[in-house]
Copies of this chain bind each other. A is one copy, B any other.
Amino acid sequence: MPRISSERKAERRAQIVAAARTCFARSGFHNTTLQDVFAEAGLSAGCVYNYFQSKDDLMLAIAEERHDEERQLIGEASETDDPVAALRQVARTFADKYLKEDGLDRRRIALQTWSETHINPFILSSVRAGMDGPRAQLAQIIRRGQAANRLTSTLDADAIAHTVIAIFHGSLLQKLWKPDIDSDAQFAVFEHFLRSLETE
């Protein structure tokens, strides 16, 4: 007979994750102390430790949540039947959600996570898994495009998917370092790339 419903528990978890995200986005993972997170969440140390086992676990939870969100975003974006339109929509979603404001903050944390993959095997697994889903979805779209003779079959669908993601990730890095970069011009290059994949 739990005094706290599982919804309330989920709420608390979310509250803590949100606080941690705020802190990590503000000061970076290694420069954030757990005391910062406790203060931001308005909760005590002990309480937070009832939901997360360690600082690393907190980062992992944030990563997982982000991966869920990304999976959902790419899922929604690729609902269209038309494979070419789907790819374009995915890219637009990326440009809209990832490269701006709050989305950019989350990606800032993502970068911290990526840097941690080297040391923390759980983070590595999570990052791998987080990328594999979207990549497989993209590859699936591309394969459909190839089957329908809409996209060139001279290139490996997985390799294309990888490249698309690489462009996303790489653009992200540049946006993080130079927020005033001309994203539109870069988006045009991406669209050119997509067109180059289409059969005539």
With both chains docked as a complex, state the minimum distance between the C-beta of A121 and any C-beta of chain B, in angstroms. Answer: 12
A190 contacts chain B at the CB level, 8 A cutoff: yes
| Contact across chains for A114 and B173 when beta carbons are under 8 A apart | yes
A114 to B173, CA, bound (A): 8
With both chains docked as a complex, state the minimum distance between the C-beta of A13 and any C-beta of chain B, in angstroms. Answer: 20
Q: B residues within 8 A CB of A181?
A: 162
Q: B residues within 8 A CB of A111?
A: 114-115, 118
| Contact across chains for B159 and A186 when beta carbons are under 8 A apart | yes
Q: Give the dominant DSSP class at A's interface.
A: helix
| Contact across chains for B112 and A112 when beta carbons are under 8 A apart | no
A93 contacts chain B at the CB level, 8 A cutoff: no
If A108-B118, A188-B155 touch, whether A173 touches B169 (CB-CB below 8 Å) is yes
With both chains docked as a complex, state the minimum distance between the C-beta of A139 and any C-beta of chain B, in angstroms. Answer: 12
B116, B163, B178, B193: the one within 8 Å of A186 (CB)? B163
Q: B residues within 8 A CB of A28?
A: 115-116, 118-119
For chain A, give the interface size range.
Answer: 35 or more
Contact with B along A117-135 (1 / 0, CB 8 A): 1110000100110010000
A189 contacts chain B at the CB level, 8 A cutoff: yes
Residues of A within 8 A of B (CB): 27-28, 30-31, 108, 111-112, 114-119, 124, 127-128, 131, 152, 154-156, 158-160, 162-163, 165-171, 173-174, 176-178, 181-182, 185-186, 188-190, 192-193, 195-197
